[in-house]
Amino acid sequence: MLTPNMHYADLKDSYLFAGIAQKVKHYQQSHPDQHIYRMGIGDVSLPLCDAVIKALHEGVEDQADKERFHGYMPECGADFLRQAIAGYYRGRGVALAPDEVFVSSGASDELGDILDLFDGSSSALVIEPAYPAYVDANVIAGREIVHLASGEENGFLPLPDEHTVADILYICSPNNPTGAVFDREKLQAWVDFANKNGSVILFDAAYEAFIEESDLPRSIFELEGARTCAIEICSLSKTAGFTGTRLGYTVIPKELTRCGMNLNAMWVRNRTTKTNGVSYIIQKGAAAVFTHAGQEQIRQNIKVYKNNAKVLMAALDEVGIWYTGGKNAPYIWMKCPDGMGSWQFFDYLLNEIQVVGTPGEGFGACGEGYFRFSTFGSPADTREAARRLTDLLRGK
């Protein structure tokens, strides 16, 4: 009889955000008249910007034209988009060749798929609290996971020490869920560690566009030595509202080799076998993000989310609750009041004020006692949620 992948039995019953969606659905069914203020999953609320919409329409017209029609797309990405992304990095002082950029259908897909590059016996270090897909993808692959806990004592930005041993290192900065950002010196410590130990960093840069302090690194390739130890995975989901449109990109430098194997060449081999590329229309829309107009327009949308963050931070300041994030990231990570557990706080907010966030425990054991708010909701909902939160927590 066929044996299924038994590692699925080691996963939690449901994926964090699916479990929350289920709980919220049940609440809504039993309270059909109540409006729910959704600040749980980091899903955007603003539509795609005009430059992208125009390019998507042009893409559709191209597909209707005998001369301009596109069939299969290049597996690693259309040249025009790889060039545009390399140009975006160049504008930030990072030199990349277009064929070091791989177009994907999103960072979350890619974070799991990229594990094809590594032997099953390699271990994966996850800095917790962590985006749960890192852990789940490695559980499914049956890989040994090294959980590196972080906390308030290190600003949720731990560093490797003499006891750290791992082959694959997940680093997310700006961090999901804590909103903490590695500065140059700390990120350099991870790069130096990876080069010294032959590890590979999987750098999740999905929130880079939210960094407003110019001395903080937005790409790991701003650091010396990163080209020999890092892969960067990025996405247009949060930057440009592509959560439902789907497009991401991955940077694998040509210098990145292990055991005589070139990881860029291996990924070309992988993609040419496993994909037929991302849809032409979507790539056409994505390229518009990197134009002058596209950049201006997405910045306006990011400003709206940053204002939401300010509204929520002001509410937490008013009631004297400790939090981090919100400034260079679209997440606010707060301490639950009165020593409440994070799921207990989740139920409390949902039942009392119909506000949904994400319990910190869902991001790993050290997230217990904390709670995450996403700032991607509508401004009106965010203002009302902040008002309800202040009223509820005043005096706690």
Binding site for ligand MLT (CB under 6 A): 41-43, 108, 131, 176, 237, 374
Residue number, 176 or 270, with CB nearest to ligand MLT: 176
Cβ proximity to ligand MLT, 104 vs 374, nearer residue: 374
> What are the Cα distances from residue 131, in Å, to 103, 108, 137, 160, 367?
22, 10, 11, 19, 11
Question: Is residue 346 within a helix (H) or strand (E), and if so which, with residue range?
Answer: helix 342-353
Q: Is 210 left (phi over 0), alpha (psi -120 to 50) or beta?
A: alpha
Cβ 111 vs Cβ 202: under 8 Å: yes
Three-state secondary-structure class, residue 258: strand
Q: Which is nearer to ligand MLT, 176 or 308 (CB)?
A: 176
Whole-number minimum distance, CB 241 to ligand MLT, in Å?
Answer: 12
For residue 170, the minimal CB distance to ligand MLT (Å) is 14
The CB-of-103 to ligand MLT minimum distance in angstroms stands at 18
Q: Which is nearer to ligand MLT, 122 or 243 (CB)?
A: 243
Q: Which is nearer to ligand MLT, 176 or 264 (CB)?
A: 176
Judged by CB, which is closer to ligand MLT: 132, or 160? Answer: 132
Kindly state the smallest distance separating residue 364's Cβ from ligand MLT, in Å. 13
Using CA atoms, how far apart are residues 280 and 287, in angstroms rounded to an integer?
11
296 to each of 82, 209, 235, 239, how far by Cα in Å? 20, 12, 18, 12
Least spacing, CB of residue 395 vs ligand MLT, in Å: 30
Pairwise CA distance, residues 79 & 167, whole Å: 32
Q: How far apart are CA 214 and CA 8, in angstroms?
A: 42
Q: How far is the CB of 42 from ligand MLT (least distance, A)?
A: 3
CB 239 within 8 Å of CB 302:
yes
Name the phi and psi angles at 62, rounded to 5: -60, -40
- Alpha-carbon gap, residue 7 to 164, rounded angstroms: 25
- Our CB check for ligand MLT shows the closer of 182 and 363 to be 363
By beta carbon distance, the residue nearest ligand MLT is: 42
Nearer to ligand MLT, 206 or 315 (CB): 206
Instruction: Name the residue nearer to ligand MLT (CB basis): 107 or 251.
Output: 107
Q: In the bound complex, what is the minimum distance in angstroms from residue 131's beta carbon to ligand MLT? A: 6
Compute the chain's Rg from CA coordinates.
Answer: 21
User: CB of residue 228 vs ligand MLT: minimum separation in angstroms?
Assistant: 28
How far apart, in whole angstroms, are the C-alpha atoms of residue 247 and residue 105?
Answer: 4
Burial of residue 112 (number of CB atoms within 10 Å: 0-12, 13-18, 19+): middle
Residues 6+ apart with CB under 8 A from 150: 127, 128, 129, 156, 157, 158, 178, 366
Nearest distance in Å: CB 278, ligand MLT: 17
